[in-house]
A and B are shown apart, each in its own frame.
Chain A
Amino acid sequence: MQLSTNIWVWLGVFFTLSVLSFLYKDNPFYKLAEHVTVGVSIGYAIVLWWNLTVYPRFIIPVFENGHFILIIPAILGLMMVLRIVPKWSWLSRYAICFTVGGGAGMGIPRSMQASVLRQLEATMLPLSLNSATGINNIVIFIGVLTVLIYFFFSKEHKGVFGGAAKIGIWFLMVGFGATFGYTVMARLSLFIGRVLFILQDFLGLNLAG
């Protein structure tokens, strides 16, 4: 183990600790970290924004390849910026509506295909009792149906319907359980990532061994 000599690593550790200090209570170090993030990410964003989009996708095409038509969307884009000028903010709507409308229009049939049709198709499975898959398929069939019923609001949960809804809630709970377990895992992984950073990059321990 040898301590890192890289000033940046030290900086990283300093901020890691400043953020962790929030566990004790909200404090200036945490606030500093919070604002540094904002600063860095904005600066970072602006540079990439220019290097990777504005320059190659607008400046070059328009001023070198002469696709002047692109000036129109550019103007629309600038109209969007007018949002911050209360008097002119309504102008931004033209750009926004153009964007949002198209997006919405594209979305409907595509979601229909990807998250409805394909999903329905995948739920049509051959049921049978004499093979593991067959039985699993039965479980899936019941599961999907009953959960759909649980979220069906036009009929009171009574009788058979109510029974189905009850089964549905159990499926939901198992599903949420899975999410729960996985989420716990995720949260822990995040901290482990930081621990690894401190142990390896900062303290320079060789853990792989």
Chain B
Amino acid sequence: MLWKKQIPLAITFITGLVFGIQYFVPHRTSENLFNAYVDWEIVIGIFGGILAYISFYRAHTMRIRKKAPAWQYSLVAIGISLLMIFFGFIQGTETGTFFSNMYFYVLVSIEGTMFSLLAFYISSAAYRAFRARSAQATALLIAAIIVMLGRIPLGEQLSFWKLIWSNAPSFTDIANWILNIPNMAAKRAMNLGIGLGIMMLSLKIVLGIERSYMGSGD
């Protein structure tokens, strides 16, 4: 118990306290302490990295051994990762190498496209789901539309009223105003709240109230 809980919590508390105070102390010793800590952290993290890699290979070899449904994909994943490592070390990582091509043409294509699917979902959602259900939702949609018009070159052209009154604000101007004034205000208030939340979490961690980061088990 002591070794598995109290001492770790004590460590959290002490490091937390020390580096909370350190912020207010410009003294050389505190500087050195801080820099030393950072150096250590980096090394720790570097080795922590192993964790991710091991668990990756564990997970996939497991699936292959268990012949889990569609286990062949795991085979692909592992095989390719090994290829990457092999060529990364043999051939280097400069442009034009297998390594960088794999990355730039394969990985970028896939990940880029995965999220570009959203372009389609959002368009169908726009058509079928985005509804002005309430006054507020209406306000939201209107603001959204203005911003969308304000952020494209065409927005200027579409500000038809400028034909009559040439120095009236165009969509772009209105959008900029919305973004810089009301939006800014709303977001600031929210950020203040969010900032509080973050500090709250940190404090709970230091005080040992929040422990989920320690992982499950006794």
Residues of A within 8 A of B (CB): 8-9, 11-13, 15-16, 18-20, 22-23, 31-51, 53-54, 57-58, 70, 72-74, 76-78, 80-81, 83-84, 86, 89-90, 92-112, 115-116, 119-120, 122-123, 136, 139-145, 147-148, 151, 168-185, 187-188, 190-194, 197
Contact = CB atoms under 8 A, between A and B. Distances in A.
B20 A11 contact: no
Interface residues of B, number: 124
Given A105-B206, A181-B144, A39 B78 contact: yes
A44 B109 contact: no
Given A77-B43, A97-B12, A101-B19, 12 more contacts: A18-B110, A40-B106, A77-B50, A80-B47, A81-B51, A92-B215, A94-B7, A105-B22, A106-B19, A143-B185, A173-B143, A187-B122
B186 A108 contact: no
Contacts, number: 397
A73 B174 CA distance: 54
A171 B39 CA distance: 45
Interface string B184-218: 11111111111110110111011000000111011
Nearest to A41: B107
27 contacts: A16-B112, A23-B117, A39-B80, A43-B85, A43-B88, A50-B89, A51-B93, A53-B42, A74-B47, A77-B43, A78-B50, A83-B215, A90-B4, A95-B44, A95-B48, A97-B8, A97-B9, A98-B15, A99-B41, A100-B213, A104-B202, A139-B181, A143-B182, A147-B190, A180-B144, A181-B143, A181-B144
